[in-house]
Amino acid sequence: MGDILLKTLVPGPKSQALMKRRAQAVARGPFHATPVFIEQAQGALIQDVDGNTFVDLAAGLGVVNVGHCPPSVVSAIQLQVARFLHAGFNVTPYEGYVELSERLNRIVPGAWEKKTLLVNSGAEAVENAIKIARAYTKRSSVVCFDHAYHGRTYMAMSLTAKAKPYKSGFAPFNSDVYRAPYPYAYRWPTTNEPEQVSRECFAKFCELIQTQVGAENVAAVIIEPVLGEGGFVPAPPSFLQALRSYCSEHGMVLIFDEVQTGFGRTGAFFASQRLGVTPDLMTLAKGLGDGLPIAAVTGRADMMDAPGEGGIGGTFGGNPLACAGALAVADLFEHGSVASHSQVIETVLEGRLAEWFKRYPVIGDVRGLGPMRGVEFVKDRFTREPSKEAVQKILKHSYENGVICLGAGTFGNVLRFLVPLVISESQLNEALDVVERGIQIL
């Protein structure tokens, strides 16, 4: 017998009642991928308020990478709760903030001295990385990429590509932001061969800087090494390497936004390790706290020290509970079996998705890095016209049958798997069987 256990139709009566209250009380802006209200969760399983048990392939949007409520993380938080909830790092500093910074300085790649700033969300990490780069370079322009997602605050939103729903109605955006193409091989207009795409895309990046920005004005280049919301597209290592060399040559700060790709998501601590390219600054969030609101900018110490005292920081940044939890999460990554198990997940996902690609013509592309895997749906393999409808139907079928998963992509036509990296092989296969059935009955 599997782990999925449905006692009611989904959504059940209690979830439906809560959904009505939600509609009355909560602004409609924050979207919900499912109409299922959670009661409790453990590992890769979620129980809803109606007593139904789901397999979680979304990990709370790529956050609970070491699973829901790992006991060591829970007890680290409980110990901290009993000591103090808040002090304000800029009022009475505490060791947890320093210790987590030391830990990140050690695990983030780069053979140079590093420093860390702790904040509350991925968007805030992005904001601060740009502030740090501008303060360091004394330049203002920022180059970002097509299909990028960096968050919902003003600079993060200005760097984000997709208009609807992220930017519509919120103009004007921050100035001095330029957008270059991302090496999205499946949708590249002249070729789909990754190395050729990489070369052509880098040529376009250089052209943009030469013709519109001026290299001497660029403070930072910010990129997701694997597109997250943009559709789970890994950048070819050769492209990232070319950016690396260009930024070094022209005194620009290279920022990797690893908010979604960090903390084991791609089968290494960070995607940059798998792709073999080291940025100057890295933004981190999501998996860092396994659900606690914490994010970080970690990178070259001289850059991190560019803003003056009081120039960056905030009331809640690196709050004590989140630091205690994040340190326990880091222990699980460094000393637990997450890394080896994520290889099992990668193998299962890669194998099953390759089979799906062979079987179902509605699938145009399967791709990813490590356990971060996506499936792009099309109306026709020849025209590659995106099929958002397919993804929406599969997602609905999935939650109605006990599996929580998510869509992604500029065209909304990518099914993405952000599984808790502690999911068992049988839970994963059981959930993928449900999703596959959703493809079969499209």
Ligand X SMILES: Cc1ncc(COP(=O)(O)O)c(C=O)c1O
Q: What are phi and psi of 420, to 5 degrees?
A: -60, 135
Which x/- pattern, by CB under 6 A, does the window 257-286 give for ligand X?
x-xx------------------------x-
Query: Which string of DSSP letters, residue by residue, matches 368-401?
Result: EETTEEEEEEBS-TTT--B-HHHHHHHHHHHHHT
- In terms of CB distance, is 122 or 370 closer to ligand X? 122
CA distances from 261 to 240, 265, 271, 295 (A): 15, 5, 6, 13
In the complex, the smallest distance separating the C-beta of residue 377 from ligand X, rounded to whole angstroms, is 21
In the complex, the smallest distance separating the C-beta of residue 2 from ligand X, rounded to whole angstroms, is 30
Question: Is residue 353 a contact residue for ligand X (CB under 6 A)?
Answer: no
Binding test (CB under 6 A) with ligand X, winner from 224, 280, 346, 430: 224
In the complex, the smallest distance separating the C-beta of residue 121 from ligand X, rounded to whole angstroms, is 4
* Nearest Cα to Cα of residue 121 among 315, 285, 306, 363: 285
Spatial contact of 183 and 235, defined as CB atoms under 8 Å apart: yes
* Nearest Cα to Cα of residue 419 among 232, 246, 282: 232
Rounded to 10 degrees, the C-alpha dihedral 197/202/203/207 comes to 140
Q: How many binding residues for ligand X (CB under 6 A)? A: 14
In the complex, the smallest distance separating the C-beta of residue 370 from ligand X, rounded to whole angstroms, is 16
Q: What are phi and psi of 305, to 5 degrees?
A: -90, 5
Rounded CA-CA distance 438/442 in Å is 6
Q: Which of residues 101-160 bind ligand X (CB under 6 A)?
A: 121-123, 126, 149-151
Q: Which residue number has the CB closest to ligand X?
A: 122
- In terms of CB distance, is 11 or 151 closer to ligand X? 151
In the complex, the smallest distance separating the C-beta of residue 431 from ligand X, rounded to whole angstroms, is 22
- In terms of CB distance, is 166 or 357 closer to ligand X? 166
Length of the chain: 442
- In terms of CB distance, is 126 or 353 closer to ligand X? 126
Q: Which residues are near ligand X by CB under 6 A?
A: 121-123, 126, 149-151, 224, 228-229, 257, 259-260, 285
